[in-house]
Amino acid sequence: MPQNEPEDRPVPYADDPKIHHVDTRTLRGLAHPLRIRLLNALREFGPATASGLADRLGESSGATSYHLRQLAAYGFVEDAPEHGKGRERWWKAVHAGTTFNTSTFTEHPDAEVRGAVGVVLHEVATTHTQELNTWLGTMREWPEEWRKAFDLSDFKLRLTPELSLELAEKIQELVNSYRDRVPEDTEGSAVVRTHLHMFPRPTD
């Protein structure tokens, strides 16, 4: 999250009910750092209460409760009554992932929309950095097999915009080909996070 939808190409996951296609209305509902963190936590760790999420994220339960209701108003989360006991209110993510066409929002005539997508993109970049730093700080706690299996690489290529888009799509296709290959209860398995960053740089 988010995954960019290129313009003038078939929209990825168009028929996948597990993927939320963000529009200008729902973008406004998502554009808050805590809401993005709440949504990520629900998607990764499953249903939770506002107080449970507050403990996980180091926030107040009042703040998490308010922003969960805002996420619900925009269709990102919903009640999970099957998990509740008594008056305890549980929440769950409606979708497994989020996708949108970045350029649609970064070039939007409404400054509020441009600002909202900036908040989302910067929070995603911050999350990626935090996840990587957490791994580097805790990697010695993992078995040797996992320490040998991780990768931290960067590459410099000269490409056209069309080839850059083609490369990104092929990488995403390759990553998606590994989904559902390992059952959840497989011994020695773990959830693996893969980040893709692709952007041009000046040459001088």
143-162 pLDDT, tens digit per residue, is 999 999 999 999 999 999 99
Give the pLDDT mean for 85-100.
Answer: 88
5-64 pLDDT, tens digit per residue, is 444 444 444 456 688 899 999 999 999 999 999 999 999 999 999 999 999 999 999 999
Q: What is the DSSP string of the chain?
A: --EE--TTSPPTTTT-TTEEE--HHHHHHH-SHHHHHHHHHHHHH--EEHHHHHHHHT--HHHHHHHHHHHHHTTSEEE-GGG--TT--EEEES-SEEEE-HHHHHT-S-HHHHHHHHHHHHHHHHHHHHHHHHHHHHGGGS-HHHHHH-----------HHHHHHHHHHHHHHHHTTTTSS-TT-TT----------------
Instruction: Place 85 in a pLDDT band, splitting at 50, 70 and 90.
Output: confident
